[in-house]
Amino acid sequence: MLSDRSYMRSDYPRQITSALTWIICATLAGSIIQFAASRWFGSGAVSALFALSPGGISHGRIWTLVSYTLLHDGIFHLLLNCLGLFLIGREVAPLLGSSRFFQFYAGAALLGGVCWLAAHSWGSTPPALVGASAAVAAIFIFFACVYPEREITFLLFLVLPVTLKPKYIAWGLLGLDGLGFLFSELPGGGFATGIAHSAHLGGMLAGWLYFRFVFANRGSDRAAGFPKLSLPAWLLRPKSTKPSVPPSQKSNSGPGPKKDLRAEVDRILDKINSRGFGALTNEEKQVLDDAKDLISRQ
């Protein structure tokens, strides 16, 4: 058989579809079905089943606390959220890995929906909540927490290029949504914009909580600025100093250490593919640095 021949076999695993790709595809598919059903059949059955509303929750449609992210108010709303998912999600997803990114996305959507329900638990019945904006806001806040000083350039009004640091953009979005929540979304605010600022704020809170209490507290991923707990210096054992090996002896040590290093690097790369870069320990990151230095010297 052809598969028995060595040149027809591949030692490399097939690329697995990323969590970000699945989420974007599901969002596009859900919105297309929503638009088609509304246009062709003039029915709001899809929105009634999957959009978030106080009435739907009271009737037991608990899944709408997450499924509302699959629906949108229009093409521009859909494209804007998908663009944000792609641009920011491709930076965040490798840090978390597929399973954690799915969990983070669903948790952000859930908290955004809960905050929106809490803001509209009184007064007149609001329109149903749709859109992935809360989850996108969570992803961006997480990105801003991990890379607060990385400069990013975007087109203001799709025309004017502007370069800012993520931390400043995050504070600006927080201020805008806070003001929008107070003066537009709350009863008696006076300005009805139709934007779910409370859901955005809930997503931002989810992004910060995940960074602060999950990502930044996983030992090797502790972010700068958070104090590390350690024993007093007088309780620590002094590190034994080993005599350094001359370079000549290292070069003549044989292929064994190189094979061991390569095997360890392969294992670490497999771990990054399955669980994300954030799952690495300090020792594993040091192994990658050593391997990179070894390659650069060759």
Structural domain spans, the chain: 19-215, 257-298
202-to-119, 121, 126, 207, 215 alpha-carbon distances in Å: 11, 15, 17, 9, 18
- Is the separation of the CB atoms in 115 and 89 below 8 Å? no
Structure tokens at 260: 């061991």
Domain 19-215 sits in which CATH superfamily? Answer: Rhomboid-like (1.20.1540.10)
Q: How confident is the model at residue 138 (pLDDT cuts 50, 70, 90)?
A: very high
Which pLDDT tens digit goes with each residue over 33-53? 999 988 887 767 888 899 999
Give the range with max mean pLDDT: 44-58, 118-132, 147-161: 44-58
The pair of three-digit structure tokens given for residue 1, joined into one six-digit string: 């058989």
Cα–Cα dist 275/101, whole Å: 10
pLDDT top residue among 3 and 201: 201
